[in-house]
A and B are shown apart, each in its own frame.
Chain A
């Protein structure tokens, strides 16, 4: 078990590293960087400010080679020569190039080296240069477009609670509803209840969440309001001013009830989306279990049907569901992006889409890294949970 966990942790670290590196490559080739901004400004003013270019390159680490730049972005190191016991090592290691061209380097010890770089950058030059804390310490750099010069993490802090609330509540509700639906549907196979549930689940999983959201707004926000019925808000997380709801009363802007009121529609849409898939999964898993010999044995020894279903069948039917739960985490992030966009809900998903449209790639990459990390943790948890719920499985 311990060896297994260590190996899984190792795999997760490797995967996170690959994702981080790929993200960094994407970030460095993404359009709209600081140099392009300068180039665009210079072409309009007809000025060629080389000094400004070099200063900008230094400020954004653009004069450093890809690998050391990636390390600085990821960990915040190297920050200069490595000091061990007062002595500096690798101070003369070339880590970058400020200006390309041919140059002869004359070292203090008399060596002469020809390099393809007019102004090389050495490790000693990095001492004292400002650097981020690194991705590993959750420093995703600064936002460039959405909130200029604000740390990305501060943007996330204002949004992440909203997203966790949305995803948490809808996941909880989905589990609470999907399990009984799937179980009853399987126990009463081919009954009217079963047909209704399977048909609705089929339609629910075939219908895009996007459209369900739009229909929700149309019916409960627009038509209900026009008809003078208690309506639901069409979007956002809080009302700007107090709202008067027919047959219900006044809802104070920014109060707890107000926030709950705004969550109803998006949570319902996400829940329906999950329900459709999970109830089908649980139904088929339960049908499988009901055919097993131990269920027949349980019946044969005279147990009442409820005990057979709940204690013998259901417990086993839910085992595969535990792994499914971790597998849906990536889909949940995707679903949250669309749902938040439809409802204009100020969560991480909408921030992500807004950052992509604005070209604010520090924010976008931060979102990818955080969601990847959460998903990987989810997989690890589901592996552990699997052994807890099913003692037959020994991880090795």
Chain B
């Protein structure tokens, strides 16, 4: 009897399992895996990310340890004091470049991730509200977007960063933010957190408009569709319609935009710190390491490549991943 029921269950279960359609994300994953460059890029980013996570474990020297007799030593030289190996040599004051590169990876990548996440979320919220409710909110948003696209944002971003960095009283950050960034970036909360927060603040301030414009457009096209109408007729309120029906449908392009925002956040931080207006020494970032190594470029021409190559590879990798995701998420594309 028991065996009979089991066999019946098995036979009824099988056709259902066969008929089960492939989920949307399975298809996306399968398509994404065909994009070879995107997969390589993703693996590269994961390696860099893990390296930056376990930085304190693998960094051979303390972050700011100075050995004054070993300035500009070439890669693979032995330290005169500790006898340890400077894998990538030392910088202009005799600090281990490899150690600083790892700590810098942690700070630069964290800044990029925080900036991209914040600006995408703010943009999503603002764009969804404006696109869904239209009217006055939409009018105000559109004026702001128009205004921000018509002004040279990069110089304004630079001047804001400069003013806010020089006078801490102008924009005090709450303690929990200060402690948060110092905890995830392994930096001193009193001395170093501020410039990091300023950089995050100014880049986000000008960075959310792209996501907002995208979200607004998506919502405007989605909100007229029949399934929104039926959700409303079933008694769903606005909040539910926006979060359960509108946002998920606008999601695919936003994921792509998020990946590209990571690349933009990374280059923005690098540019700010390179110009000396972002995160400053002794806090290491790829940007200010580039700044110092280019100053001594005529005598030590290879030095800028050490922080420069990770910047380029990460920036390109984010772009390739975005490209791969775009192809994978577009259902009109037959692969």
Contact = CB atoms under 8 A, between A and B. Distances in A.
Interface of A: 15, 18-19, 26, 29-32, 202-203, 205-208, 210-211, 214-215, 217-218, 222-223, 234, 327, 329-331, 333-334, 337-338, 341-342, 352-353, 356-357, 359, 361, 364-365, 367-368, 371-372, 375-376, 379
A208 B160 CA distance: 22
B288 to A, nearest CB: 12
A218 B315 CA distance: 20
B158 interface: yes
B117 interface: no
Max chain A C-beta neighbours (<10 A), residue from B155, B170, B267, B318: B155
Max chain A C-beta neighbours (<10 A), residue from B152, B163, B276: B152
Max chain A C-beta neighbours (<10 A), residue from B274, B276, B290, B320: B274
A307 B263 CA distance: 42
A214 B159 contact: no
Contacts, number: 126
Interface in B248-307: 263, 267, 270-271, 274-277, 290, 294, 297-298, 301-302, 304-305
Interface residues of B, number: 42
A234 B298 CA distance: 9
B147 interface: yes
B154 interface: yes
Given A206-B318, A206-B320, A353-B275, 17 more contacts: A15-B151, A30-B163, A202-B319, A203-B316, A207-B316, A210-B270, A210-B271, A214-B290, A214-B308, A218-B297, A222-B301, A330-B150, A330-B153, A333-B154, A334-B155, A338-B275, A372-B152
26 contacts: A15-B151, A30-B166, A31-B170, A32-B166, A202-B319, A202-B323, A203-B316, A207-B315, A208-B312, A210-B267, A211-B312, A214-B297, A217-B294, A327-B149, A329-B152, A330-B149, A330-B150, A333-B152, A333-B154, A357-B162, A359-B166, A367-B155, A371-B155, A372-B151, A372-B152, A375-B152
Nearest to B308: A211
B319 A206 contact: yes
A353 B308 CA distance: 21
B236 interface: no
Contacts of A222: 297-298, 301
B156 interface: yes
A368 B297 contact: no
B311 interface: yes
Contacts of B149: 327, 330
Contacts of A376: 150
B167 interface: yes
